[in-house]
Structure 1
Amino acid sequence: MAFFNLFNLDEIELPAAFDPHVHLRDGEMSKLVTPTVRAGGVNQVYVMPNLVPPVSTVKQCLEYRDRLRGIDPNVDYLMSLYLHETTTPEVIREAKEAGVTGVKSYPAGVTTNSSSGVVDYEAFYPVFAEMEKQNMILNLHGEVPSTPAHAHASSTKDSSAITILNAEPAFLPTLKTLHERFPKLRIILEHCSTAAAIAAVRACGPTVAGTITAHHLSLIIDDWAGDPYCFCKPVAKTPEDRDALLQAVTSSSGKFFLGTDSAPHDSRKKRGEDKIAAGVFTQPYALGYVLDALGKGIERGVINEEDVTVEMLGGFLGSWGRKFYGVEDRRKERIVLKRGEQSITEVLKKDSISVEVVPFRRGEQTWSVTWK
């Protein structure tokens, strides 16, 4: 297998990417960010359902897909339902027949627009059993809610207290339980952010995979602690966790693949309000971010240059995810990435749209993407 010398190579040609974790929002925000999918070298996406109200019915899901197609028909949109108290086995059968790909689970209150999320996973066992039967995918936001602040104050010696730093590790027993109970159910632990999550996914069978975002490959806790545009859920953790993610990218052979979790928020939601919105916007530049992170990982000696092969990059950025999801790239398009030829905009905006979004690593340089 041919490997890349990322220090010397200035141009890479790859198949168009697949991003199985995007937030395209709705209304004005959707009109602003949906065109950035193809701008980023991606022609197929799996769309998250945490709108307001959540996309919890098949009718809502198909109408949402139609709106996205109306903005950019040159992208294939795979759709998901929000796991909701109204979700039943009958809804799952209806969704499968309508071509819906999977169901996204959010623990109640852990992230943006998750207030209608799951409190008790066991209550949804009949739903998961039907999903297993219908060969649908369960996407897990793998965190548990933080312990309330007053509980911290009254039980400072309680090792079970949950914060945003250990919310993901605390969820991993739930992943194990679901996989053991439904061994044929295809499950994805989304946006892995810790070495513990990588180990947990590896310990599961072939029906379980994990996604890794572009920004978690470079961020650590110090970055988001001082910059709201680097704050997301799950939060970036330690340098050791970041390096474990980089190693998973180059050594997983398909167990992990890119899912950007690109999450746009109006800049006023990231600064100027009492509470900072959780989400990092990476859509137009995500492939460049991945290449930059791999290059820095090689420099630090965390990964080996010979592990960064054509096959590995094409797999992590597209083919591994497509294989797990059971979809094909019917467009058969290719892209070319060129080193350092893309200036990351300070702010994404349009004259006719009132919202604006600040991207990750604003003002810096990264790899450009062009379509062949």
Structure 2
Amino acid sequence: MADTITLSRPVADFHVHVRDGDMMRLVIPTIKQGGVSVAYIMPNLVPPLTCVADVLAYKSRLEAVDSSISYIMTLYLSPEITPEVIHEAANAGITGVKCYPAGVTTNSDYGVASYIPYYPTFAAMEEEGMVLNLHGECPSSGHIHVLNAEEEFLPTLKDIHSRFPRLRIVLEHCTSAAAVQAVKECGPTVAATITAHHLFLTIDNWAGNSLNYCKPVAKFPSDKQALLDAATSGDPKFFFGSDSAPHPIGNKEKGKNAAAGVFTQTHAAAYVAEAFYQLGKLDKLAAFLCDFGRQFYKIQEKEPEWTVVLRKEENVVPALLGEGAGAVVPFKAGEQLHWKVEIV
């Protein structure tokens, strides 16, 4: 097994949270640090990004921090996202629309209660070739809870797909064997992202440890194995989306109502390489990290003037990114990885 892996092109991360203000300025430099040159930016700011002008202004703020990254921008699905806005967004180069069920995760209070009112919007997206990004969970209620919320959502995924078969849909951050199977059963316009942290975590890793708590939550060992199998399968329906989600340390460690999200941006490629290395599947790494997502999204980004090399050497994850109350705890803080990202 090789001790050095040179990726044919840098990583494309199709699910990135960088927030705004001071947190944005802290996090943006870590995108390249993790080996990523294409970052698909989530719109769940406060307030959320629901108009084209605000999305473009946000992109300008990102580029002011690091213009070497290709930022792929999205709108937040809400009543403001009409078919007319979709056509305006497509003309402005905005790629996707993120759908959050109301109240299921960070900054989702403005999210969707019913999908029916958005059918005209979905039709416009299908016409324009825009991508619908689904946070695939149902809100907790009655028999629905955090462990089955994703599986309970899957009929909704299939229903939207059947109504809009040409609409490209990404089921974000799969966490269950059921989700993997559902994506496989859909047509070629449906794909899924898999995070780095879900390749390592099960319920035992976050129950009682809020640093590993994210939404959707990690589930059972059989679910983790299904994600590993999908990510290393060479199936182009499954590609990388880190869902790297920075939160100030106090919001992660406060116990009840701790923030949902795991921060992986600093070591994005190294985490995934670690998981593939443990399975002896490093030959599948570049396709998952670099190729399949670009193909599905039809990305034509500017060619970066740098190369990503993964070297097999000791790499201890730092305890913190930043200082003081705004510091962020990286995934696997203090632990040793076998792979290290080098930008050349």
Normalising by structure 1, report the TM-score: 0.89
CA distance in 2, matches of 1:57, 1:356: 30
Amino acid corresponding to residue 332 of structure 2 in structure 1: R
Comparing 284-293 with 187-196, which one deviates more in the overlay?
284-293
> Could you tell me whether the CA contact under 8 Å between 1:340 and 1:365 is conserved in 2?
no
CA distance in 2, matches of 1:224, 1:234: 12
Mapped pair 1:347 → 2:335: no
Superposed counterparts of 1:57-72, under 5 Å: 57-72=51-66
Q: 1:90 to 1:218 in 2, by over 3 A?
A: same
Q: Which residue of 2 aligns with 1:336?
A: 309
CA distance in 2, matches of 1:365, 1:222: 20
CA distance in 2, matches of 1:283, 1:222: 23
Per-residue CA distance 1:233-280 (angstroms, 9 max, x = gap): 000000000000011012142110000000000000011264110000
Report how many residues are paired.
Answer: 341
Mapped pair 1:194 → 2:176: yes
The CA deviation at 1:334 is 2.1
Q: Which residue of 2 aligns with 1:154?
A: none
Q: Tell me, which stretches of 5 or more residues in structure 1 are unaligned? A: 152-160, 299-304
The CA deviation at 1:209 is 0.3
Q: Which residue of 1 aligns with 2:45?
A: 51
Match of 1:103 among 97, 101, 104: 97
Amino acid corresponding to residue 342 of structure 1 in structure 2: N
Q: Which residue of 1 aligns with 2:120?
A: 126
Per-residue CA distance 1:136-160 (angstroms, 9 max, x = gap): 000000000001xxx5xxxxxxxxx
- Stretches of 4+ moved more than 4 A in 1? none
Mapped pair 1:238 → 2:220: yes
Q: Which residue of 1 aligns with 2:293?
A: 321
> Could you tell me whether the CA contact under 8 Å between 1:264 and 1:280 is conserved in 2?
yes
Amino acid corresponding to residue 343 of structure 1 in structure 2: V
Q: 1:75 to 1:139 in 2, by over 3 A?
A: same
Q: Which residue of 1 aligns with 2:131?
A: 137
CA distance in 2, matches of 1:343, 1:252: 29
Q: Which residue of 1 aligns with 2:72?
A: 78
CA distance in 2, matches of 1:253, 1:238: 22
Mapped pair 1:228 → 2:228: no
> Could you tell me whether the CA contact under 8 Å between 1:345 and 1:362 is conserved in 2?
yes
CA distance in 2, matches of 1:10, 1:357: 30
Match of 2:152 among 161, 167, 170: 170
Superposed counterparts of 1:238-277, under 5 Å: 238-272=220-254, 274-277=256-259
> Could you tell me whether the CA contact under 8 Å between 1:56 and 1:83 is conserved in 2?
yes
CA distance in 2, matches of 1:233, 1:274: 15
> Could you tell me whether the CA contact under 8 Å between 2:101 and 2:111 is conserved in 1?
yes
Mapped pair 1:363 → 2:331: no
The CA deviation at 1:329 is 4.2
If you compute each CA radius of gyration, which structure gives the higher value, 1 or 2? 1
Comparing 193-202 with 324-333, which one deviates more in the overlay?
324-333
CA distance in 2, matches of 1:136, 1:107: 19
Q: Which residue of 2 aligns with 1:156?
A: none
Per-residue CA distance 1:287-329 (angstroms, 9 max, x = gap): 1111212233x2xxxxxx3x541xx211100111011111134
Name the SS of the counterpart of 1:251 in structure 2. coil
User: How much identity, in percent, do the aligned residues show?
Assistant: 52
Match of 1:292 among 274, 283, 288: 274
Normalising by structure 2, report the TM-score: 0.96
Q: Tell me, which stretches of 5 or more residues in structure 2 are unaligned? A: none
Amino acid corresponding to residue 346 of structure 1 in structure 2: A
CA distance in 2, matches of 1:22, 1:56: 18
Amino acid corresponding to residue 326 of structure 2 in structure 1: V
